[in-house]
Amino acid sequence: MLVVLAAGLGSRFGGGKQIALLPNINRTIMELSIEDAYKAGVREVVLVINEQFKAAIQQDILPRLPSQMQITLVEQSVSQVPEQFASYVAQRQKPWGTGHALLCAKALINKPAIVITADDYYGPTAYQQMVEHFQARPDDMAMVAYPLAKTLSELGGVNRGICQLNEDKLISVKEYTDIYHTKKEIIGCYEGQQQRLPATALASMTFWGVTPKLLASLELGFEQFLKSYDNGVRKEYYLPNCIEQCIVSRNMDLIVYSAEDHWYGVTFKDELAAVAGKIYEQR
C-alpha cells in the first residue's frame, strides 16, 4: 500500500503544487511516484487530499494512473479533531500537518504502507527497497534516506534532518540548517555552529515505511499536541516527530536504507522547469 500526503496548501509555491504539471513530462510529481510504486508491485494507493483540489485530482490525475491501481481519496480537514478540541477549528488557517494527514487515513491502513509526500520525487528504486523490506520484515518500520549530496540545491542553502544510526537502526534525526556545498566540501549549521558534513550522511526526506501499530501512537500524539496547542494558527503536528518519539520511548525499531536515486523537490513555482529537466534525465 502507498499513502500519498497531498493535502498541503503549498503557500510558497502559490497553491496547487501537488497538481502542477512538470514541463515537457506533462505529469505531476505525484503521478510519477505512483507509477514508480506500481512498477515495484504496489496496487493500493490512498491519496490524502485537500477538498479544494479534489475535482482537479479526480478529473485530470486519476484517469492518467494505471488502471490496475485501486485508488482511494481521503480528505484532510481542519475540523477532523477530537470533540473536546472542536473550539480550535474556527481560527485554524492551514492543515494540521503530516502526522494528522496520515491519521486521516487510519481506517484504511490495515497493512504495511509506504508513506510519501506528493511534491517530492524519490526515484524508482526507493519503492523497490521498501517493498523488499516489508516482504522480509513486515512488522518493522523503515525509512529510505538519501545521501546528503543527492538532496542539495544549486539555488542556495537548504535545511535537512540528518539521521543518527546504530548500525541500520534510526536513533534520532538532527536538524541542520543552511546546508550548502562548495567545490571541496559540504557545510551545514547545527545549533548555531557551522560543521562539515560528509556527502554520504543520510538525510530524512519523508519516505517512510509504516505499520498499523504506529497509528495508536499517532492518535495519542495528536491529542497531546492539541492539549499543548497555544491556539496559534500555524503550528503543525509532524509525522517525523511522532515516529522519533516512538523510537526514543523504545516502542519500535526503524530500519534505514540508503537511497540509490537522487531526490528532487519543488518549493517555488519557478523551480518546476529545472526540476522537470533533472527528473527527465534520471528516468
Q: What's the length of the chain?
A: 283
**Confidence category of residue 232, pLDDT binned at 50, 70, 90:** low
- The answer to whether 213 and 252 are in contact (CB under 8 A) is yes
Across 40-62, average pLDDT:
97
Residue 231: pLDDT band with limits 50, 70, 90: low
Please give the CATH number for the structural domain made up of 2-282: 3.90.550.10
Summarize pLDDT for 124-138 with one digit per residue, the tens: 999 999 999 999 999
3-state secondary structure of 42: coil
Confidence of residue 230 (pLDDT cuts 50, 70, 90): low
Q: Which of 48-52, 98-102, 117-121, 229-233 has the lowest mean pLDDT?
A: 229-233
List alpha helices for 122-267, DSSP H. Answer: 124-136, 214-227, 239-248
Distance CA 25, CA 99 (A): 31
Question: Distance between CA 172 and CA 166 in Å, rounded?
Answer: 10
Q: 243 burial class (0-12, 13-18, 19+ CB within 10 angstroms)?
A: buried
Q: Which of 121-125, 185-189, 245-249 has the lowest mean pLDDT?
A: 245-249
Q: Indicate the average pLDDT of the chain.
A: 93
Which pLDDT score, from 0 to 100, does residue 66 have? 95
Report which DSSP code applies to 59: I
- State the pLDDT at residue 228: 85
Count Cβ atoms below 10 Å from residue 5 Cβ, excluding itself.
Answer: 30
Annotated domain spans of the chain: 2-282
Per-residue cell: 93? 488557517
Residue 84 has pLDDT above 90, yes or no: no
Distance in angstroms (rounded) separating the CA atoms of residues 101 and 219 = 11
Give percent of the chain with pLDDT exceeding 70: 98
CB atoms within 10 A of CB 105: 21
Give 205-224 pLDDT, tens digit per residue. 999 999 999 999 999 999 99
Q: For residues 236 and 11, give the distance between their C-alpha atoms in angstroms, rounded to a whole number.
A: 15
Whole-prediction pTM value?
A: 0.93
